[in-house]
Structure 1
Amino acid sequence: MDLASHRFMSYFEPEQAAHLCQIAILESFVEETLVFEEGQEVDFLYLVLEGEVELSKRIDSNKYQTVAVAKPDDFIGELGVLDGEPRSARAVAGGGSTLAKIGREALIETLQFAKGSAVLQMFSFITKNLRDTTDQYVNQFVHKQKMVLLGEMVSTIIHDFKSPFTGIKLSSEMLKEMHPDQESQEWCELIQLQVQRMLGMAEEVLEFSRGNSVLNKKPVHLIQTLQQFLKLNRVYFDAAKVDLVIRVTEVIVEADENKILRVLQNLVGNAVEAFGGRGGRVEIAAWESEEWAEISIYDNGPGIPQSIKEKLFEPFVTYGKRTGTGLGTAIAKSIVDAHQGEITYESQDQQGTTFYIRLPKITS
């Protein structure tokens, strides 16, 4: 945007705004760049013209917590300019950003001769920023506490469930020895797979609550992974009256197969729940593009409600599900991110939803 049309300039008389535009220094950033550091002496006010600037607070020696993101038509660093105190946060400009900076002394001098309305408008903006930043900080604090409680709860579940799961597994092994017929063998193997799967799911939730995803990568043939997914969920799909269609070419990825199964389970499971017992259709396709292994998951359900679309991949976001925890899509995204992949979606009311997953493929 043009500097003269920035909201900050509208606070002043035309002559004052023109003077500020004249003394402002424009800076463009090709890549992510530190603008100022927390605790640094204040020298400039910054107006954001293009791109974004992330403001963060130091939480330990090497970690920062984002508290706000300034976008075009915002300005940053105003508190230090007004009170002369060191910077209260760190500012990092994203690649492609353009900022205009105005020296503190020149700005203070201009403010001394500005109308009261100019000062009032600026303080209104500052007050709104403080309120928004406080709200964001509180939300982040509440989220952190939820994740701590989630981790403690899942740790207890894993500890308490290991003994009965071990009993189920041993019982299925005994049944397998007692009944050598093929059908019994298959059912016993399925029981053992499901027990291992439940423990794995709990471990993945624990990893998610701790903010890390441990991967056991190896070459994975997606056609075999999808066949395994169908085998594990055949009874579930039949009971829910879901028609599952799989279309896949020979695609190999370097991935943690159990975690890819978890992504499929979460996304398809959400679709099945959205059908509400009425049945429906789910189509999973996998193919290769030039750089990626591509996976799409389509369902002909009611679509994702508009009210949660923007926050769909955030933890604890759910809608209209009696048993939903709001973790399914968040965990799916964390797993895809850990694989250096991408996940997006399209959804229309009463016309279904399609998730698109991209994973780095193995090139020959």
Structure 2
Amino acid sequence: MLGSATIRIRTRIFDRSAFHREIEAPCVSSADNQLPDPLLRLGPLRKLGLSGKLLLLTIPLVLLAQILIYVPSIANFRINRLNDRLAAANTAALVLDAAPLGMVPESLSRQILSSIGARAVAIKWGQQRRLLASADLPAQIDHDIDMRSITVWSAIYDAFEVMFETGNQTMRIIGPAPGGAQFIEVVVDELPLRQAMYRFSSNLLWVSLGLAILSAGLVYLALHYLFVRPMRRLTANMVAFHENPESPARIIVPSARGDEIGVAERELSAMQSDLVSMLHQKSRLAALGLAVSKINHDLRNLLASSQLLSDQLASVPDPRVQRFAPKLMRSLERAIAFCQSTLSYGRAQEAPPDRRMVAVEQVVGEVRESAGLASDAAIGWVSAIERGLLIDADPDHLFRILLNLVRNAAQALEGQTGDDVAPPQIRITGRREGAVAILEVSDTGPGVPQRAKDHLFEAFQGSSRPGGSGLGLAIAAELVRAHDGDIALVEGTIGATFRITLPDRPVELHSIRSERARA
């Protein structure tokens, strides 16, 4: 029988604060308090590159995974060692209990206890506890461990408690007993268990380090080839393209990847192609602008000479000359004014409109004559302008707007054949809706293709015919917007119909009243 001193449980107060200090101590150092501002550390981190950052991130994550594996492993190792002691005690109990009259020589008892690494073995039958063998039994037991009621968290806590203990303490292990007994008890030293746990931790540490390095290396290589190298390729291409953005050879050739990196490569390639095309176009436009500036200087001199000759021609008394001379002079005046505004247009600056009330029918007639449609029987002409319609606009701007639209319509009708749905015809309508004037220029041509609709009013991009520049619609749109108006393609019509909306200028009542007062 174990005496009262033997079965007494001594409660040991575990210093949790010391335990936490020992666990957290490696995570905090004086160097951490001296780290510079994160913004100042950003520069050195960038020098590591994406591969270095990936490696620095992979190794700690793998080590963290190994630590998470170690915690249950060390707890399970302790449970297995304690179960081994109970299994050896069960075997010893069978041997000791089988002795005749329970008489076992002391020397044999010590040998049995030494072989199982225990100080005492006891078993309980019913209400009776029987001490089967004992040797050097301490006066009190430091820990009681009941293997029948161990939980996961208690096993982890007890394992680390043993790891951080000092000295040699004793444990009483209680577990199920064979042969119908209630339980069996075995008293063992804690030091051998702690040493075995240290060896297990050391072995597991080296294995974990090896696995961490191997796993981190494999993960690093996989991520490097899957992500880092393609990103480096993208970066190198962007740097090279930045050095010479006009070279088509610098455009990236996208891979066949279907993930986000593949999408980024394809989008980058499309963006670079558009940028190269745009830069080439800008270069050509710059060269064209320089050429136009030179031509404009000489052309103005030629037109000035022609104007002098037209003035002399106006003095000829021939009736036919007198009828055509004013029209010729107006055409020359418009040509000279247009040449003078060429440079301002090249600077993307159109002269502000000089608005006044303009008779639309007169402007439409001049447009027809300037377009050469007055005597052209091949293309029909219909003018459906409201009688006496006046528009608040710049007369020269309105003339240029309608002339560009009419010329585009005439060019679209030139390629028509007899098999077309409707005969070639240009129709101009005009009406007023309150303070807004609406003009429509329509034709019975093939219409505007979809590819031209996307960039309809953009210079050099909105042309729908081979060799066209698209400048006519771009100029017309710019002049309409200068009047705070709008121009749009009307859908659902035969051929093409362009609708121009020009609002009147807002009336300032104060100015009108002042003028009336002065009058």
Amino acid at match of 1:208: Y
Tell me which residue corresponds to 1:243.
380
Distance 2:361 2:411 in 1: 25
1:354 aligned residue (494, 497, 500): 497
Tell me which residue corresponds to 1:307.
451
Tell me which residue corresponds to 2:428.
284
Tell me which residue corresponds to 1:262.
400
Deviations 1:200-229 (A, max 9, x none): 444455433321111232213242553453
SS in 2 for 1:331: helix
Summarize the Cα distance change of 1:270–1:244 in structure 2 as closer, same or farther, 3 Å threshold. same
2:470 aligned residue (298, 314, 326): 326
Summarize the Cα distance change of 1:277–1:270 in structure 2 as closer, same or farther, 3 Å threshold. same
Summarize the Cα distance change of 1:142–1:199 in structure 2 as closer, same or farther, 3 Å threshold. farther
The answer to whether structure 1 residue 207 and structure 2 residue 207 are counterparts is no
Q: Taking structure 2 as the reference length, what is the TM-score of the superposition? A: 0.43
Q: CA deviation at 1:238?
A: 1.9
Which piece of structure 1 moves more, 354-363 or 272-281? Answer: 272-281
Tell me which residue corresponds to 1:164.
302
Q: Aligned runs of 1:1-364 on 2, under 5 Å?
A: 121-179=259-317, 181=319, 183-230=320-367, 232-233=369-370, 235-239=372-376, 241-249=378-386, 250-276=388-414, 280-290=424-434, 292-317=436-461, 318-321=463-466, 324-346=468-490, 351-362=494-505
SS in 1 for 2:438: strand
Distance 1:263 1:165 in 2: 22
Which piece of structure 1 moves more, 239-248 or 291-300? Answer: 239-248
Summarize the Cα distance change of 1:356–1:333 in structure 2 as closer, same or farther, 3 Å threshold. same
Contact 2:456 2:473 in 1 (8 A): yes
Summarize the Cα distance change of 1:202–1:273 in structure 2 as closer, same or farther, 3 Å threshold. farther
Contact 2:316 2:322 in 1 (8 A): no
Distance 1:238 1:348 in 2: 30
Deviations 1:78-109 (A, max 9, x none): xxxxx98xxxxxxxxxxxxxxxxxxxxxxx9x
Give unmatched runs, 5+ long, in structure 1.
Answer: 1-41, 43-82, 85-107
Summarize the Cα distance change of 1:150–1:252 in structure 2 as closer, same or farther, 3 Å threshold. farther
Q: CA deviation at 1:177?
A: 0.8
Structure with bigger helix share is 2
Summarize the Cα distance change of 1:348–1:301 in structure 2 as closer, same or farther, 3 Å threshold. farther
Amino acid at match of 2:311: E
Q: CA deviation at 1:153?
A: 2.1
Summarize the Cα distance change of 1:291–1:125 in structure 2 as closer, same or farther, 3 Å threshold. farther
Summarize the Cα distance change of 1:338–1:166 in structure 2 as closer, same or farther, 3 Å threshold. same
Give unmatched runs, 5+ long, in structure 2.
Answer: 1-38, 40-44, 47-56, 63-221, 229-256, 417-422, 508-519
Amino acid at match of 1:360: P
SS in 1 for 2:357: strand
Q: Taking structure 1 as the reference length, what is the TM-score of the superposition? A: 0.60
Contact 1:340 1:359 in 2 (8 A): yes
Q: Which has the higher contact order (CA 8 A, sep 6+)?
A: 1
Contact 1:288 1:294 in 2 (8 A): yes
Distance 2:368 2:414 in 1: 22
Which piece of structure 1 moves more, 299-308 or 202-211? Answer: 202-211
Summarize the Cα distance change of 1:197–1:185 in structure 2 as closer, same or farther, 3 Å threshold. same
Contact 2:489 2:498 in 1 (8 A): yes
Amino acid at match of 2:412: A
